Structure 1
Amino acid sequence: MTSLATDLDRLGAEFWQWRDATSFRTSDDIPRVERPAGWVPRFDPAAIDEFRLALAGFTERWKAIDDGGLAGLPVENHVDHRLLGAALARVHWEVEVLRNWERDAVFLTSQVLGPWFDLLLPPPPFDARRRRDLVRVLEAIPGAVEQAIANLERAGVATLARVAAADLADIGARLERSVAAVAPLTDAATAAALRGAQPAASEALERYRVWLEASADRLGPDVIVGRDAFTWYLRHVALVARDPDELVRAAMHDYRRSIVAEAVTRTRYRDVPEPPLAASAEAESVAEAAAEAEVRALYESADLLSQPDSLRHYRFAPTPAYLEPIAFLGVNDDLTSIGRVAEDATSYVPDPAPGLPYFDAANARDPRLGIIHEGTHSQQLALSWAHPNPLRRHFIDSIANEGIAHYNEELMLTAGLFADSPHSQTIVHNFMRLRALRVVVDVNLATGAFSLPEAVDFFVRMVPIDVETATEETSYYVATPGLAMSYLVGKHEVMRLVADAAAAAALDGAEFSLRDVHDFVWRNGNVPMSLLRWQLLGDRSDIDVIDAVGPWWAALPG
């Protein structure tokens, strides 16, 4: 291995160790990482200054490797270098452009209370380290609330403050219920410490809610990143060569296609009754285990994707009493981590009942509808976390990961997984409609064409979905441009790669293996498709478009 490649590996290892210890907490499941013992998020101005200084140091070392000359190295090393550059650009995007650490009350709620939720996600037993961390994060809540209020006093956004206040209704009592439910699962000393820390934590959260309600009207307007900054994100974080307008046009094409496909399916099977909800969360979990075996068998029999015996499973489980009161804090699953890659992933489901939110209702009638998306995340992450190259084990941007999962939905529909369930076929087409409309919302929020209420109304009318799900999604997307569009934009990137791989094989007179391409994409599922095109097909046309606008540190937004 050349010294430059060795330097890149060393820099990557040091950067990711730093990143796991300093990145903000997220309510999304894909970017979750295993944190150092005793970790709590830092979002005070002094910490932000430390982040900036560290980023500058990593960036200079990364540029020096490029300046040292990568020309003689294999494409794989170029891909790794670009991948690390995208990770560095993401830190700038989060700290300097989005600035959610001082603007977004929903984000700050996630920093204050989210670590408690995250520690509860892995199934019991609660080992000594996790017990200590539960006490630590509960004791840290009052101080975190004070810092959140100080940040929002300086730069808070009114709309997101109102959403956060609504999320926190009755939060003191809800936290008390969560603590009361988990304490008996710990040892006596931990239980006593949790019960001792809970009243102050609940009081601080209620104070935060009251402050948000009282202060929202005097906080600032929504902050729009603007077209230029959004395009910078596409080019340098997501490594996507398409323009925003092109993404919207493609999304509207898919939106219309999904409406027609859904209408045809619904009309064809109009006399077939909708399947019933599962009898209970326990029954749904049992059905899901059998359904996962069915999905895996189809991957193998249709020669679509390898399913090694060593690959862990994705399981449903009833939502524990300690998670239920705070379920709003994130995706209710434990996809594990790099250090726990051999453990089964767990998705917590509520008791089936009329009026369930959009995705929960779909899963309660056919668990395969969850397996083909969240179960795909579980498999892709497990495969990527075990990648022999450590630089490819880490989350960079949602477009690659969400694109694979959304691509897999249509893949399994086309492969015949739902031949026995017309209703589920209809739902998959509706999933496509939702993901297409997310692109429209995302871009319009980023450019200011939509306000948050307008985006919620757009989702409710056009999908349609319930107001609760629409509000939850949109309040998160308004402060995270690029996430809502990641599903369909990423799916299109995957489809283009697979189709061009098939075309290249045909031109060469070679046999095309869909399984081999899928195995490559899933194993490298954290890597943007523009880089995988370069490695797999020798096609660097997307990279040339990105290079044409200059390096990521030139004309930094924010």
Structure 2
Amino acid sequence: MRQLLTMMVALAAAMLATPAQAERPELVALFKEFRTLAKPVRRGEVPDYTDAAMATQARALPAMMARLKAMDEAKWPVADRVDYMLLLAEMRGLEFRHRVVRPWKRDPAFYSTTNLGFGPKIDGAFSIPELPLAPDKLPAFTAKLAAVPAILAQARGNLTEARGDLARLGITQKGIEARVYQQLADKAAKVQPELAAPARAAAAATRDFAAWLERIAPTLPAHGGIGRAEYDWYLRYVLLFPYTWEEMRVIGEREHDRAMVSLKLEEHRNRGKPMTAPAESMAEFERRRGIADAQLLDWFARYDVMTVPDWLKPPVGEGPYVLPGDRDPAKPGPFDKPVDRHFFRMAEDREPLTLRAHNLPGHLFDQLMRQRDTRAIRGAQRLFFIDGTRAEGWSFYLEEMIQQIGILDDKPAAREINYILHAKRAARVLPELMLHANAWTYDEALASLTSRTPYWMGPQDAIARFDMELYLRQPGYGIGYHIGKVQFEALMADIAAREGREFQLKRFHDRFHAAGVIPISLIRWEMTGDESEVARMR
């Protein structure tokens, strides 16, 4: 047994370094063909989301799905069958997008022309570069700017099923984008005049679009959710997620209770000890973050938590967590007085360890690992949030894990912050569920989140408002943290029961990572050989 487990950990470490799965050519070819279909047709820099274009895309999907289902995959190796399920889930995701979500018809915020960090958006949304641009980059960026009025003109014709909550989110988004374009125009007039006119035109078109939304918003149906039955279908057959709406409601409420009790016990343990004061300058913020990053990577490597590859390096000068609204030219800098801290900054400016665990060995590690994954299907960025609960579940697990294994033993404030964060993430679950059951409006969901988060979060908190936008516009996002962690822990418990005293944390984590950033139900299948959970998702 020990020799077998030693071989398994060596294999996992090798896969983590250089994934070596021999993929099936016919499956890879169909995957690439599907990915081409999934992108909208473009007319220059304008993606086509008109009824005719979307109908053409939808008509091509059934034949492609039939070709996939005609493959006799039952006798394939499990790794290939997992890839098959990934492609099937993505095809179902595109079908669901046409049948239910229809963001091009329902969601005005979908027409975000900039890549400022908002949720789901049109194909081709672009980042705003620093000026002046190099001469060879100027024509392409000018064309993107010039396309903004046409994109938003098309949007007005497409949005025949817009919803009130989604329209109001679009109004806020367009206000920020218009100010970003105007700032670009003002700067271009000084350093690159040829960009000033298209930037002013983009700003004007964006303001006009927001004004149009203001006029129609009061006439629209209020709720923007997809409905409880469709929500369950999407989670099971697209996200390959094993829990139902009702099961997640129960789990989420239990997790919230547990986090609140843990917080109060920790506060009692630390009574009389003041909470750490927030950093008051960027230099102090970066100093604290640098210490936390170094401590995490050293601990993970020294105490065999997971393989820490040479390429996992803390980013330098990253600054505080940036929301789309933080890129608004009307917003002051992160440490301009008086400092306006959203919820996550209230935590990280005091003690960065918990959120750095979430983001450094969590999201950044996943991102860098995916960039090095040469497998055509596994290594691709998943469509339709199919990897979302895996990514957030793993990252959130790390927050509690660093407390359980002792990294926070001498940091009472960090332990309290950990439980505050846990309570906040648990408080997200019910609002997402109720939004998509169309039982709550955005404002009602926001009130639930802010009232059940123990500290630092009022109704105008930027994180609270951004959370509710994401969870309404991307089903599965808000539940992914706590419920994804529950799913991860169920897998870990299963492997631990199988291995008994032979269980090793590093081996488990490395095998988990070697599967790629894919749904945990598929990782479970690879790690245990048990197909029963996935069989219910076919």
Match of 2:499 in 1: 505
Match of 1:14 in 2: 33
Change (3 A) 1:413 1:179: farther
Q: Distance in 2 between matches of 1:39 and 1:411?
A: 46
- Which stretch has the larger CA shift, 221-230 or 165-174? 165-174
1:103 Cα deviation after fit: 1.0
Q: Deviations over 1:282-318 (max 9, x none)?
A: 4423432332121111111221111111334334434
Report the AA paired with residue 76 of structure 2: L
Q: Distance in 2 between matches of 1:149 and 1:368?
A: 45
Q: Does 1:260 align with 2:261?
A: yes
1:495 Cα deviation after fit: 0.7
Change (3 A) 1:516 1:537: same
Q: Does 1:350 align with 2:334?
A: yes
Contact 2:236/2:537, CA 8 A, preserved across alignment: yes
1:367 Cα deviation after fit: 2.9
Match of 1:161 in 2: 167
Change (3 A) 1:183 1:417: farther
> Could you tell me the TM-score, scaled by structure 2's length?
0.84
Report the AA paired with residue 334 of structure 2: P
1:276 Cα deviation after fit: 2.5
Change (3 A) 1:132 1:296: farther
Contact 2:163/2:220, CA 8 A, preserved across alignment: yes
Q: Deviations over 1:311-354 (max 9, x none)?
A: 34334434899x876459xxxxxxxxxxxxxxxxxxxx933754
Q: Does 1:105 align with 2:108?
A: yes
Equivalent positions of 1:41-440 (< 5 A) are 41-65=47-71, 69-109=72-112, 118-120=126-128, 131-152=138-159, 154-169=160-175, 172-180=178-186, 191-318=192-319, 326-327=327-328, 350-351=334-335, 354-375=339-360, 376-393=362-379, 394-395=381-382, 396-440=386-430
Q: Describe the SS at the equivalent of 2:414.
A: helix
Change (3 A) 1:541 1:519: same
Q: Describe the SS at the equivalent of 1:391.
A: coil
Change (3 A) 1:2 1:117: closer
Q: Find the partner of 2:485 among 460, 469, 491.
A: 491
Change (3 A) 1:309 1:111: closer
Q: Distance in 2 between matches of 1:203 and 1:124?
A: 20
Q: Find the partner of 2:530 among 527, 539, 552.
A: 539
Q: Distance in 1 between matches of 2:480 and 2:177?
A: 31
Q: Deviations over 1:143-200 (max 9, x none)?
A: 1221222223x2111222223223444753443224556898xxx6xx3332221111
Q: Find the partner of 2:512 among 518, 521, 530.
A: 521
Contact 1:357/1:466, CA 8 A, preserved across alignment: no
Report the AA paired with residue 212 of structure 1: L
Change (3 A) 1:18 1:441: same
Change (3 A) 1:312 1:471: same
Q: Distance in 2 between matches of 1:524 and 1:502?
A: 18
* Aligned pairs, number: 501
- Which stretch has the larger CA shift, 220-229 or 107-116? 107-116
Q: Distance in 1 between matches of 2:36 and 2:302?
A: 40
1:454 Cα deviation after fit: 1.0
Change (3 A) 1:246 1:460: same
Contact 1:225/1:447, CA 8 A, preserved across alignment: yes
Q: Describe the SS at the equivalent of 2:243.
A: coil
Change (3 A) 1:179 1:275: farther
Q: Distance in 1 between matches of 2:465 and 2:424?
A: 14
1:85 Cα deviation after fit: 0.9
Q: Describe the SS at the equivalent of 2:318.
A: strand
> Could you tell me the TM-score, scaled by structure 1's length?
0.81
Equivalent positions of 1:26-37 (< 5 A) are none
1:521 Cα deviation after fit: 2.0
Q: Distance in 2 between matches of 1:315 and 1:120?
A: 21
Q: Distance in 1 between matches of 2:110 and 2:310?
A: 39
- Which stretch has the larger CA shift, 260-269 or 163-172? 163-172
Report the AA paired with residue 139 of structure 1: A
Q: Distance in 2 between matches of 1:181 and 1:294?
A: 42
Q: Distance in 1 between matches of 2:273 and 2:143?
A: 53
Q: Deviations over 1:93-142 (max 9, x none)?
A: 22321112111122234679878985248x99977776554333322211
1:544 Cα deviation after fit: 2.8
Query: Percent identity among equivalent residues?
Result: 25
CA RMSD of aligned residues (A): 3.4
Q: Distance in 2 between matches of 1:416 and 1:126?
A: 49
Contact 1:171/1:202, CA 8 A, preserved across alignment: yes
Change (3 A) 1:172 1:543: closer
Q: Describe the SS at the equivalent of 1:484.
A: coil
Change (3 A) 1:523 1:364: farther
Q: Distance in 2 between matches of 1:404 and 1:356?
A: 26
Structure 1 runs not aligned, ≥5 long: 24-35, 329-348, 548-558
Q: Does 1:441 align with 2:441?
A: no
Q: Does 1:461 align with 2:451?
A: yes
Q: Distance in 2 between matches of 1:483 and 1:421?
A: 30
Contact 1:433/1:463, CA 8 A, preserved across alignment: yes
Contact 2:113/2:126, CA 8 A, preserved across alignment: no
Structure 2 runs not aligned, ≥5 long: 1-19
Change (3 A) 1:3 1:478: closer
1:210 Cα deviation after fit: 1.3
